[in-house]
Structure 1
Amino acid sequence: MSDIDLNQQVIAEFRASGGRVGGHLEGVPVVILHHRGRSSGREYVHPVVCLVDADDANTVYVFGTNGGQPTSPQWYRNLTAAGTGTVETASATYPVSVRELTGAERERVWKKQTDQAPFFADYVDKLAGVRTIPVLALTRA
Structure 2
Amino acid sequence: MPLRLSLEQATRGVEDNFRKAFAQLPAHARAEKIAEGTSPGDEPVGGGPPGGVVASVDYRIHGLSPAEYGHWFDVLSAWWTGNGFVVLADARPRGLYLWVEDGAAGFRMAAQANDAGGLFLTATSPRVRPGSGP
| Same topology, TM > 0.5 | no
Identify, as 1 or 2, the structure richer in helix.
Answer: 1
Identify, as 1 or 2, the structure richer in strand.
Answer: 2
- Structure exhibiting the larger radius of gyration computed from Cα positions: 2
Which structure has the higher relative contact order (CA within 8 Å, separation 6+)?
2
Normalized against structure 2, the TM-score is what?
Answer: 0.32
Normalized against structure 1, the TM-score is what?
Answer: 0.31
